[in-house]
Amino acid sequence: MGTAALLETRHSEGLTDEEIVQRVRAGDANLYELLVRRHNQRLYRVARAIVRSEAEAEDVIQDAYVRAFVYLHQFEGRARFGAWLTRIAVNEALARLRMQQRVQPLSDDGGEGEYAMPAHFHSMSPEEHTSNAELGRILEETLLSLPEQYRAVVMLRDVEEMSTAETAEALGLTEENVKVRLHRGRAILRESISDQVGTTAREAFPFMGTRCERMTALVMRRVTASRNTGLELARPSIGDAPGE
């Protein structure tokens, strides 16, 4: 990005996501980088909640950003851009899981089923709970151990602090189902980390600094390539959430 474009991007940082989308649609594609930077951490967290692997999560969010850019003209504003983008990332992650035949996709089935916490989560010493950094590590491990139907809901509600409505929109669930899964997921977490979830959750699953810069650069290279080649992705999109 040239100096003039960089200055323009900095002047645009106060714009809302939806205002940036309008300008990107009008031809100012460089501003898409602002959207990538704003949403890197949320998309990484929700992708980790579904695919678990860090490397897979990074692949998912790259694909989600490129798909969102290619289909940006389909964003109708029925949901906030962040929720629309999150839904795309969820769809990408679930599609990857389906291809690998590792787990079943999220469904609005009420999340029934028994679950046993792995034994090592019951035997943590008091010393392991003495710092926020350690609690963040414990939270990451515990969250990733949850069954999928609880894992993504807890990640979006307690870590990303999305509303019940936004979480339901992103995951394609009813609001009542989100509440049920959140309640059950929190109950499982409390077996290991008691009431620390609310105070330390946002320190878990960091995606900042060098990793964020690297992801932003990768995404913008792919976005530029899609503009230059007129890329259209193979899988069709439906409504406000491409990739469903």
Q: How far apart are CA 205 and CA 139, in angstroms?
A: 9
The set of residues, in sequence order, having a beta carbon less than 8 Å from that of 79 and lying 6+ positions away, is: 87, 166, 169, 240
Q: How many beta carbons lie within 10 A of that of residue 52, not counting itself?
A: 18
Which amino acid is located at 3 in the chain? T
Is residue 198 a contact partner of residue 128, using CB atoms and an 8 Å limit? Answer: no
**Domains located in the chain, CATH noted:** 3-104+206-232 (1.10.1740.10), 119-203 (1.10.10.10)
Phi, psi of 18 (to 5 degrees): -65, -35
pLDDT digits (tens, 9 = 90+) for 58-102: 999 999 999 999 999 999 888 889 989 999 999 999 888 877 654
**Mean model confidence pLDDT for the chain:** 75
pLDDT digits (tens, 9 = 90+) for 128-182: 434 445 556 667 777 888 888 899 998 899 888 889 999 998 888 999 999 999 9
pLDDT digits (tens, 9 = 90+) for 185-234: 988 877 766 544 454 555 666 665 667 888 888 888 888 887 776 654 44
Residue with structure tokens 């989100």? 178
